[in-house]
Structures are given as C-alpha cells and as structure tokens.
Amino acid sequence: MEIILAIVIGAAFGATLDRIGATNPNFIGKMLNLTNLHLMKTILLAIGTGSILMFGGQMLGLVDVGHMSVKAAYVGVFIGGLLLGAGWAASGFCPGTGVCAAASGRKDALFFIAGGLLGAAAYMANYPAWKAAGLLDNVAGGKVTLGSVPGASYEGLTGIPGDLLGMALGAVFVMVAFVLPERLTPEKGLAQPAE
C-alpha cells in the first residue's frame, strides 16, 4: 500500500514541479536574481496552502497529528542552508528539482546528480568531524515547532496553540504571495526618461 502511495504522490509531485517551472533553472535563476518572482509567489502560496490544509485538518480531526515530522534545529542547519543556497543559485537545481530536470531531458542535471552523489558521500565521510565539533547539537530544543501543536510529540518554542499559529502563518504566506511584486530589481534596457 505504501509503495502505491509513493508512486502516486511522487509522480504528482514530479509532474507539478515540471508544470510550475521549478525544474527549469531559468526560473530558479530569475527568482534568485530577483528579476522574476513568479516561482517565489508559487512556493509561498504552496507553503501557505499546505499549512492551512494540514493544521485546519488537524483541528477538525481529519488529519493525523502523528504524521508530522519535524527536523532538529542546530547550527549546521544554517551552515548547510548557506552551502545549499550557493550551489542552488549557481546550478539552478536543488535535489528534488535536479532529479526531475534530469528525467525531463536536461543533460546538465545529470552532472548535478553526479556531483550530488559525490557531495553526499563526502558528507558521509566527514560526518564524525561535524558531530565532534558540536555543530550538530540541538539548539532551542532541537525538534520544535513555533507554537505548541496539540497532540504532537514535538515541543513548542512558545506556548501559543500550534494549530492556530500554523493557520495564521499559513495565511501570512498566502498574503505575502499576493503582495510580492513580479520583480524587485529595476528593468534593464528600458530607455530612461530624458531630462
């Protein structure tokens, strides 16, 4: 049963990534150099939609709180985020969109995957050093959510009801998606008005 769900949800995710332009490095590059925020608006709306549906479903008792999976917070999360961000901008791929891009016929994505397999292997070899340096030690409680989600096995960073906070933050993501302009940098190549 789980394998069938993996096939159905995985295929839907891959097809959606293609249709929103996330597997296209042009859109990633234009989002990150702030010239076309279309994909950013898509992502923000998606996070908001997912959040509202999940926490709303939990409040109605339709979604199993036990399906949540919260990752730990530690200094390495930020350092790893910086590294991923740099490589993401340079290549135009992240792990999920990279494999989908390769499947859609982008040969450069195959080189991204090869580099990724080597990078993951390098981390596997270096893992004890990061651990010994204390950079994988939990901060702020580790696996925490911003509010305290009723029935969840994770601690809340604050005592605010986590499901309500999740709905509210979801609404904020949706609003930001709407108010964010299509681009943040001035259009180049447009004639400047004469003095």
Q: Which residues from 77-136 bind another protein, rule CB under 8 A?
A: 77-109, 111-125, 127-128, 130
Restricting to residues 30-59, name those near another protein by CB under 8 A: 30, 32-35, 38-39, 41-51, 53-54, 57
Sign of the Cα torsion 50, 19, 88, 45 reads: negative
Q: Shortest Cβ distance from residue 56 to another protein (Å)? A: 10
Restricting to residues 145-164, name those near another protein by CB under 8 A: 145-147, 149, 157, 162
Phi, psi of 84 (to 5 degrees): -60, -40
Identity at 186, one-letter amino acid code: P
C-alpha distance from residue 141 to each of 24, 134, 136, 137, 157 (Å): 37, 15, 12, 10, 8
Q: Shortest Cβ distance from residue 182 to another protein (Å)? A: 9
Closer to another protein by CB, 14 or 59: give it. Answer: 14
Question: Which of 133, 137, 143, 153: binder of another protein (CB under 8 A)?
Answer: 143
Q: How many residues bind another protein (CB under 8 A)?
A: 126
> Do residues 43 and 123 touch, judged by C-beta distance below 8 A?
no
Distance CA 37, CA 182 (A): 5
| Interaction between residue 175 and another protein (CB under 8 A) | no
Closer to another protein by CB, 128 or 195: give it. Answer: 128
Q: Shortest Cβ distance from residue 93 to another protein (Å)? A: 7
Closer to another protein by CB, 79 or 150: give it. Answer: 79
Buried b (16+ CB within 10 A) or exposed e, 85-103: eebbeebbbbeebbbbbbe
